[in-house]
């Protein structure tokens, strides 16, 4: 119930001014004033005291009519679009995306089928790639094996080449200390012939060839014998006699040395062996038949030194730890 000033308001029902008697204001859309005893209201004084939200008959009728219209619209909507129950996978037949576009269950199932097909395609592609990867891996392993074998073959060829080269040097002798001033083979052969005679080795000029090697001032004479026996006889004989250049018509006084002809690699290794012999009190180190040999004592076994690794293994263990 709403109160107002007496005489300032009129009742909409009877068009009379509202006095000190009963008066009410409609809380509905019209917001009009009424006497409590007119037919629009028909309310007793006792009821008036308990009224808090009064709505006139006209507003009540209008509000009920709106409610009926809303109810009928809701019913028509429910009849046209009944509420769906979730189907398989908890999906309804229709849904909406973020943009409000309707998505049917059929659309979802199509997308699911497409996803499955794409997954199958990707799986086949992965299997194909795995197969290709296995083939590539097998090819790489084969190439690696071939490469390893090729390296071994090359090493063997190099060794064979080196051995053949060393074999070609077995009949050769290098003479150091001859102060030769000419490259004439005939003149040099005469000197070499005199040296062989002083060694008591009978040799004909046709049984060997000579050539001058080395740089100016440090020249050597390379002698290539036709057979191995002559070379071995000369190398044995030279151990008994000291040779000097003056004995063969040279003014310069030089000691003459006869050594085996070796490749650069063999010379380098032989030098290491001789140094090893001195450092570790080995008694013998020599070159024979293309081999570098080492012996600790007279009754010790002969060691064939093929590489510097053998010398490392011969070092005392206490030194290896240090």
CA-wise closest residue to 64 among 29, 39, 99, 103:
29
Instruction: Kindly state the percentage of the chain with pLDDT values over 70.
Output: 77
User: Computed from CA positions of residues 302, 303, 306, 308, in that sequence, does the dihedral angle turn out positive or negative?
Assistant: negative
Listed in sequence order, the residues at least 6 apart from 34 whose beta carbon sits closer than 8 Å to its beta carbon are: 11, 12, 13, 23, 24, 25, 26, 40, 41, 54, 56
CATH class entry, domain 170-261:
alpha beta
pLDDT in the model for residue 123: 93
Q: Which CATH number fits domain 1-83: 3.30.40.10, 3.40.50.300, 3.50.50.60, 1.10.10.10?
A: 3.30.40.10
Q: What is the greatest pairwise CA distance in the chain?
A: 173
pLDDT in the model for residue 216: 66
Distances (CA, A) of 22 to 12, 31, 50, 60: 14, 17, 12, 20
Q: Is the Cβ–Cβ distance between 277 and 305 less than 8 Å?
A: no
Instruction: Kindly state the percentage of the chain with pLDDT values over 90.
Output: 42
- Say which range, 73-82, 110-119, 186-195, has the weakest mean pLDDT: 73-82
Q: Rounded to whole angstroms, how far apart are CA atoms 220 and 173?
A: 10
- Say which range, 83-87, 98-102, 258-262, has the weakest mean pLDDT: 83-87
Output the six-digit token pair for 71: 């109810």
- pLDDT above 60 (res 81): no
Alpha-helical (H) ranges within the chain are: 45-50, 57-80, 105-169, 185-198, 228-237, 264-279, 308-314, 317-321
- Say which range, 75-84, 143-152, 203-212, has the weakest mean pLDDT: 75-84
Output the six-digit token pair for 242: 């000291």
Question: pLDDT for 1-38, tens place per residue?
Answer: 444 454 567 787 777 777 666 677 788 788 888 776 65
Mean pLDDT of 195-219: 86
């Amino acid at each position: 119930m709403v109160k107002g000033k007496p005489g300032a308001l009129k009742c909409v029902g009877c068009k009379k001014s509202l006095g000190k008697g009963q008066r009410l204001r409609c809380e509905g859309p019209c917001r009009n004033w009424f006497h409590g005893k007119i037919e629009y209201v028909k309310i007793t004084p006792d009821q008036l005291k308990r009224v808090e939200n009064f709505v006139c008959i006209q507003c009540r009728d209008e509000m009920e009519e709106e409610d009926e219209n809303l109810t009928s619209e809701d019913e028509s909507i429910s009849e046209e679009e009944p509420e769906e129950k979730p189907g398989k996978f908890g999906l309804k037949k229709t849904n909406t995306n973020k943009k409000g576009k309707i998505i049917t269950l059929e659309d979802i199932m199509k997308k699911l089928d497409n996803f499955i097909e794409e997954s199958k395609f990707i799986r086949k592609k992965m299997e194909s790639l795995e197969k290709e990867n296995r083939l590539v891996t097998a090819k790489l392993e084969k190439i690696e094996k071939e490469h390893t074998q090729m390296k071994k073959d090359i090493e063997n060829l190099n060794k064979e080449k080196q051995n053949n080269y060393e074999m070609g040097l077995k009949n050769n002798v290098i003479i150091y200390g001859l102060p030769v001033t000419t490259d004439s083979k005939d003149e040099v052969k005469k000197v070499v012939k005199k040296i062989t005679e002083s060694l008591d080795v009978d040799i004909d000029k046709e049984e060997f060839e000579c050539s001058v090697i080395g740089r100016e001032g440090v020249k050597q004479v390379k002698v290539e014998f036709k057979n191995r026996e002559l070379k071995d006889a000369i190398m044995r004989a030279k151990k008994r006699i000291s040779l000097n250049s003056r004995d063969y018509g040279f003014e310069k006084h030089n000691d003459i040395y006869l050594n085996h002809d070796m490749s650069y690699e063999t010379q380098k290794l032989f030098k290491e062996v001789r140094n090893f012999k001195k450092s570790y009190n080995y008694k013998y180190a020599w070159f024979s038949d293309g081999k570098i040999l080492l012996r600790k004592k007279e009754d010790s076994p002969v060691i064939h030194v093929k590489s510097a690794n053998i010398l490392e293994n011969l070092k005392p263990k206490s030194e290896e730890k240090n």
